[in-house]
Amino acid sequence: MKILFASSELYPLIKTGGLADVAVSLPAALKALQQDIKIMMPGYRDVLASIDGAKPIATLSLLDHTIALLCTSLPRAALEVWLVDHVLFDRPGNPYLAKNGAPWPDNAQRFALFDRAVAAVAMGHANLDWEPDIVHCNDWQSALAPALLASERRRPATVYTIHNLSYQGIFPQATYRELGLPNELWSVEGLEFYGQLSFMKGGLNFADRISTVSPGYAREIQTPEFGCGLEGLLKRRHTVLSGIVNGIDTDMWNPARDAFLIKNYDRENLVDKQANRCALQRAFELPQQNKVALIGMIGRLVEQKGVDLLLNALPELIKLPVQIALLGAGQPEYEQALRGWSQRHPNQLGVRIGYDEVLAHRIEAGADMFLMPSRFEPCGLNQMYSQRYGTVPIVRRTGGLQDTVVDANAENIKAGTATGLIFEEASGPELVAAVRRALSLWEDSTVWPQLMLTGMQQDFSWRHSAQQYLALYRQALADRRLVSV
């Protein structure tokens, strides 16, 4: 199949979260399955500056804008990337936010232009001698493309993946008019969401197939608690909605070969994990102690990730024999509160505010446990990375976390299937109870290594999930045929 994969971020060119990881590793897995795949992304300033010799391959007129399409390739699996070059993307830093942390005021214009470019390429208007069978869009930033394509007669099939339902791309009605979108799309069955424009609804209402990044989240988003107001629509389309759990890049995240680590290790050589532990304590200026458990945490510091639960739990957590090494950036009030705690308890809580890829790998390798107390989590990648690194995850029972971690209850321990600890309620006391439970298992010299090794043996590669996407693409093609007949 010829697949056009549209994403607003792509590792290593630009990344704010897990979408960037998926946007490279899923296409690489599909390519390994002999599929012909091109990735399309906005040509942000920092991206264009970081690559040499991007080749212009087309020019397109889209309403009153002209864009250039530039072609480059990622060393990873020699993937071809098509970048949309336009002055609207010629800005430094974060792809969505200005330096003051607020969204760029013209994000609707920026991503509507990107989506028009995706639709135009999909319809062969760029004269590239390459027309896709499938257009696969991701999150709100590319969600208008399925809507723009829906009315075309001989169009490719469309698939839309929700990575996070809580970011929908909502803009005022006036913006809708400025964007020159077709009048007939302004309805509740179209792009309107309570009198406003919703980019997300373009994907949800018009794609032939909708997926999200875990079966658990696919169920949850059909309920008012997780549906963000879109549960009715999702329930209505449940026959074309499915969940496919993300894989991970098992080359990039491999403790036996990870070049960022102080010392590589594997299942047969677990003692070498210890050198990474010491280095991590040093990096966070924590005392070199063996009798306390070292807990790692990495992520965007936003409500989704349960940062408030951690803050609520900290007064009790610091009474336990634990050290915490936390890396993240996000809401200023969370950053400030965490910094304050670490200043008051420097021997137990190390906090690094910022984005640091190398340190993220070192935390996965050096910690004993990995904490992910998310309030909701469409999939989550770090709990899979940590299992691969023999770092036992402590997670909340939600979304993809419950699909990828097996709780260390008595039954699962006995069966040899347990890989981590799961707690139920989103509350500080439950988080503390889970850490206590982890500590008692950590002291058990039979059970703990078993948890580590079972986690390290899990197959989180893209092999299965990429096959599931292929099946999804075939279903989308069949659905499109039915619609156009």
Residues that bind ligand ADP (CB under 6 A): 17-18, 21, 298-300, 327-329, 355-357, 360, 379-382
Binding site for ligand GLC (CB under 6 A): 17-19, 22, 163-164, 213, 246, 377-381, 400
Q: Least distance in Å: CB of 344 to ligand GLC?
A: 30
- Cβ closer to ligand ADP: 179 or 245? 245
Q: Which helix (H) or strand (E) holds 19?
A: helix 18-32
DSSP string for 347-383: TTEEEEES--HHHHHHHHHH-SEEEE--S--SS-SHH
Q: How many Cβ atoms from other residues are within 10 Å of residue 314's Cβ?
A: 22
- Cβ closer to ligand GLC: 25 or 348? 25
Strands (E), 88-240: 134-138, 157-162, 170-171, 192-193, 196-198, 209-212
Contact 184, 190 (CB under 8 A): yes
Q: Which does 384 bind (CB under 5 to 8 A by kind): ligand ADP, ligand GLC, none?
A: none
Q: Least distance in Å: CB of 381 to ligand GLC?
A: 5
Q: Is the dihedral of CA 466, 467, 472, 473 positive or negative?
A: positive
Contact 47, 13 (CB under 8 A): yes
Q: Which does 213 bind (CB under 5 to 8 A by kind): ligand GLC, ligand ADP, none?
A: ligand GLC
- Cβ closer to ligand GLC: 205 or 211? 211
Q: Which does 31 bind (CB under 5 to 8 A by kind): ligand ADP, ligand GLC, none?
A: none
Q: Which residue is nearest to ligand ADP (CB)?
A: 18
Distance CA 234, CA 112 (A): 23
- Cβ closer to ligand ADP: 60 or 248? 248
Token code pair at residue 236: 């209505």
Q: Which does 373 bind (CB under 5 to 8 A by kind): ligand ADP, ligand GLC, none?
A: none
Q: Least distance in Å: CB of 214 to ligand GLC?
A: 8
- Cβ closer to ligand ADP: 393 or 428? 393
Distance CA 178, CA 183 (A): 12
DSSP string for 159-176: EEEES-TT---EE-HHHH
Q: Least distance in Å: CB of 253 to ligand GLC?
A: 13
- Cβ closer to ligand GLC: 18 or 203? 18
Q: Least distance in Å: CB of 188 to ligand ADP?
A: 29
